Amino acid sequence: SVPARGSDELLRLRARHLNPTLSVSYREPLKIVRGEGAWLFDADGRAYLDMVNNVCHVGHCHPRVVAAGQRQMALLNTNTRYLHDNLVEYALRLTATLPPALSVVFLTNSGSEANDLALRLVQAHVCARGTVVVDHAYHGNLSSLIDLSPYKFNGKGGPGKPSHVEVAPMPDTYRGPCRDAAAAGAHYARGVAGAVARLAGRDLRTGVFLCESLLGCGGQIVLPDGYLAAAYAAVRASGGLCLADEVQVGFGRAGEHFWAFQRQGVVPDILTLGKPIANGHPMGAVVTTPEIAASFVSGMEYFNTYGGNPVSCAIALAVLDVIADEQLQQQAASVGEFLQAGLRTLQQDYEPIGDVRGCGLFLGVEIVKDRAARTPDSAVARTIVEAMKQRQILLSTDGPDDNVLKIKPPLVFSRDNAAEFLHKLAEVLARLPAAA
Ligand code: PMP
């Protein structure tokens, strides 16, 4: 059995024996030992409402997901070179949720692996290295994806932008140059066309435009209407492909739609998936068209030791079952709407809430020093996160200025949970600036 160590000792041993770049959440880190539904429990049995983990999508340790994994682990785990029902059933069930064009599935072990494989599909299909990404985006931890993640390459310790990459501005109608909802889609899509033109100016054809269907690290941003349609048109006109990264936001989180790209009325050429796909079990996926998949056939096999194994597929199937049976997409829509309405009410009373945005259970709250100037206030955002933790609610911050409270709980997060959160947030806001 594993000895139970105190937090100080764990920190000391981590510092000595583990990746020295690991971080921990909160000034005083939590030692979490158990999860259930939307709740996490620390070593002293204190319960924390988890409002930030979008990986345990159908709830921490959902009994049906756990049982599906346990059953399959006790029976067989092997690779895709044997026929197995789970793999084929998963491909059928996943593609049934998607537009008909997206009918071919590749399974991986992470979102990063999915995006890296997607880049190989792009090279096979259009053979063009130029890549357009959106500012502040994060697409994964592999070398190929650090290159495509402004959040990393322009961030602390980042190596800077590689020459085959161009960055389009975030379509941010709160702080960006165009704040008119009706004009914003076309305005920011011109930013994508501009990036394509800059690549062309360096004799680089655009191979792919990567864009999250809702921006995560960028600060919980909802794409303005018409943005992807116009951006995709510009990219396709130059011969490039369009990739929707739904590693964070897929599988019903967006509420009204199962896939967040559907909000924009487009169909990407390649869709990448991860995090919620298997409720925390390591898994990712690429879904694409038969034409693009056919271009990948060169004689060399894409083999992934663990990708698509029977255990992962059993778990991912159970996740789809639970989303449907517990109507979690509908819950994301209704609880998300209730939360947004409550946050907007708080916004009327509390100056630091500059903006409330999002859809379904993917929400952002901009914390500002001054409503008119929209000056980001990361210090107060941090104070709120710490004060909410004292009240046993887990949140975190993101965005270029680290001042956006990000809200993306497991979809089992209920209206009662939302009411408790709103009540405690009001208490914290009333006590600012100290808010202990
Ligand atoms: N794409 C997006 C949008 C992500 O948020 C992440 C992870 N934060 C990834 C890709 C990479 O996924 P993973 O950590 O599973 O490799």
408 C-beta closer than 6 A to ligand 1: no
139 C-beta closer than 6 A to ligand 1: yes
**Ligand 1 pocket test target in 23, 115, 139, 223 with most atoms within 8 Å of CB:** 139
| Per-residue pLDDT band at 133 (split at 50, 70, 90) | very high
Q: Which residues have C-beta within 8 Å of that of residue 3, sequence separation ≥ 6? A: none
pLDDT for residue 433: 79
108 C-beta closer than 6 A to ligand 1: no
| Per-residue pLDDT band at 126 (split at 50, 70, 90) | very high
Q: What is the pLDDT of residues 248-279, one digit of tens each?
A: 999 999 999 999 999 999 999 999 999 999 99
Q: What is the pLDDT of residues 19-49, one digit of tens each?
A: 999 999 999 999 999 999 999 999 999 999 9
Specify the amino acid at residue 263: R
Q: Which atom of ligand 1 is nearest to the CA of 275?
A: 15
Indicate which residue's Cα is closest to atom 7 of ligand 1.
140
Give distance in angstroms: CA of 224 to centre of ligand 1: 22
237 shares its domain with 342: no
Split into its structural domains, the chain has a count of: 2
pLDDT for residue 181: 95
Q: Which helix (H) or strand (E) holds 50?
A: strand 47-50
213 shares its domain with 90: yes
Which residue, 274, 276, 278, 295, is CA-closest to 286?
Answer: 274
**Interface pTM, i.e. ipTM:** 0.99
Whether 310 contacts 298, CB under 8 Å = no
218 shares its domain with 249: yes
Secondary structure (H, E, C), 99-163: CCCCCEEEEECCHHHHHHHHHHHHHHHHCCCEEEEECCCCCCCCHHHHCCCHHHHCCCCCCCCCC
218 C-beta closer than 6 A to ligand 1: no
362 C-beta closer than 6 A to ligand 1: no
CATH of the domain at 173: 3.40.640.10
229 shares its domain with 273: yes
Q: Which atom of ligand 1 is nearest to the CA of 112?
A: 16
Which domain-ending residue is among 303, 325, 347?
325
Q: Judge residue 416's burial from the number of C-beta atoms within 10 Å of its C-beta, 0-12 exposed, 13-18 middle, 19 or more buried.
A: exposed
332 shares its domain with 318: no
**Ligand 1 pocket test target in 136, 152, 248 with most atoms within 8 Å of CB:** 248
Give distance in angstroms: CA of 49 to centre of ligand 1: 23
Specify the amino acid at residue 313: C
pLDDT for residue 5: 97
| Per-residue pLDDT band at 214 (split at 50, 70, 90) | very high
Residue in this structure with the two tokens 């305005």, named with its chain if needed:
187
Which domain-ending residue is among 284, 310, 325?
325
Domain of 73 in residue numbering reads as: 63-325
Q: What is the pLDDT of residues 168-205, one digit of tens each?
A: 999 999 999 999 999 999 999 999 999 999 999 999 99
213 shares its domain with 107: yes
169 shares its domain with 251: yes
2: in domain: no
253 C-beta closer than 6 A to ligand 1: no
Give distance in angstroms: CA of 273 to centre of ligand 1: 9
Strands of 225-378 (E only): list them: 241-245, 270-273, 284-288, 353-359, 362-370, 375-376
395: in domain: yes
Specify the amino acid at residue 221: I
pLDDT for residue 193: 98
308 shares its domain with 335: no
Which domain-ending residue is among 325, 350, 368?
325
**Ligand 1 pocket test target in 275, 304, 362 with most atoms within 8 Å of CB:** 275
- Chain-wide mean pLDDT for the chain? 97
111 C-beta closer than 6 A to ligand 1: yes
Residue in this structure with the two tokens 């011109």, named with its chain if needed:
190
Q: Which atom of ligand 1 is nearest to the CA of 246?
A: 3
246 C-beta closer than 6 A to ligand 1: no
1: in domain: no
pLDDT for residue 436: 56
Q: Which atom of ligand 1 is nearest to the CA of 212?
A: 3
For the cut 70, the answer to whether the pLDDT of residue 435 exceeds it is no
Q: Which residues have C-beta within 8 Å of that of residue 346, sequence separation ≥ 6? A: 353, 422, 425, 426, 429
36: in domain: yes
284 shares its domain with 206: yes
Q: What is the pLDDT of residues 365-404, one digit of tens each?
A: 999 999 999 999 999 999 999 999 999 999 999 999 999 9
Give distance in angstroms: CA of 274 to centre of ligand 1: 7
Give distance in angstroms: CA of 272 to centre of ligand 1: 10
